[in-house]
Amino acid sequence: MVYVVSDEVRRKNGGPRMIVTGYSSGMVECRWYDGYGVKREAFREDDLTPVETMEHQHV
């Protein structure tokens, strides 16, 4: 799946919701807040899954 900047994703094996911030060397760059600070890491596209639209509506 191709992601665009600002898409919300999560690793398929779980973890925090992350925002796609770009692409580098074929990897998807993501950022998220872990409660202490902003973290960033690059992941393979097939390791990620989009955050469900219904999940966005839960506040």
pLDDT in tens, 3-36: 999 999 999 999 999 999 999 999 999 999 999 9
Please report the pLDDT score of residue 1 as a whole number: 80
DSSP 7: -
Can you read off the two tokens belonging to residue 53?
């639209």
Is pTM, for the whole model, over 0.85?
A: no
d(CA 56, CA 52): 7
CB 37 within 8 A of CB 50: no
Please report the pLDDT score of residue 58 as a whole number: 53
CB 46 within 8 A of CB 11: no
Higher pLDDT, 57 or 1: 1
d(CA 28, CA 5): 9
Please report the pLDDT score of residue 38 as a whole number: 98
Please report the pLDDT score of residue 34 as a whole number: 94
